Structure 1
Amino acid sequence: MRISVLQGDITQRRVDAVVNAANSSLLGGGGVDGALHRAAGPELLEACRELRAARLPHGLQTGAAVATPAFRLPARWVIHTVGPNRHAGQTNPALLVSCFSESLRLAETLDVRELAFPAVGAGAYGWSAGAVAAAAQEALTGFRAAHPAAGLELVEFVLRTAEVEAVFRDVLGV
């Protein structure tokens, strides 16, 4: 599995799946979540409403992941995960690791070869770029150990600023 770190717009990535830093409602929001919903079109919101009605009446739990089609995005899938909100007292880094681990696990079940992550939990949820990158590194290490023959060929981190990109490059060693 190749790891890539770049500055860019995750809504433009031509990969099998993109990860959405969602909120528990799955009904859109700000940041990456809002950008992905806008770019995917109203079909994404409808798919999320259907998920809520059928399987997730109380929303998606922190650290969990669920997939929908990507609709108008250049990807096939959107994997939604809910990061812990430090501002709301969710300070357990294991929940942050779980966001990455569960997204990787779900990507494997969807036969995803190329997966793009944002900095889940950074920004509005208050985690530092270093903590997020460390959580991603821990999840990647665990995933590689548990799935040595995984079909994932590329995991990329698509980050909005040069500063966050530099932190991820340093922590991930790429």
Structure 2
Amino acid sequence: MNIRNKFLLGFCLIFLIGTMCGCGFSNQNENDNSNKVNMYNDNDKIVQENNNYTYINCNFSRNNNVIEIKYGSFSGIDTICFLEAKEDTEITFDYDSTVDNGKFKAVLINPKNEVETIVEGTDQSSKTIKLTKGQYSFKNVGANAAGKIKISFSSNSAVKITEDKK
């Protein structure tokens, strides 16, 4: 075999290996995103402590008890904050949610790991929920979602809102 044929064979092998690896990585990303999309209706996944999400873009701001998020291509589960109820009380969520594409919901996970949907899809309203003493987590859940949400929390001083689980 002459040098030209060896070079051509080597080039073809490198090209073939590169193509196969590239497709494998691409397929892995598709499977990963598919898993995140499938989490949308899976409460067992939603209540887990770990986050598993992807945003193509996300603008997040928090000012006192008001959270505003503009998101694009959001899939998965993202913990936004934690609420600590020092005693039995109530909390009111005032929200304005606009979903341009996909599916989106904001949920509250109680100390018994039960999921309470605060808002799903496009909606503007408020919701009051009774809290028992304990730790709650507030999460966004999306499936290829794009849109924005503004949500405010109001309660008495028995509820502490933090970004970290204490």
If the length of structure 2 is used for normalisation, what is the TM-score? 0.30
In terms of fraction of residues, the more helix-rich structure is 1
* Structure index of larger Rg: 2
If the length of structure 1 is used for normalisation, what is the TM-score? 0.29
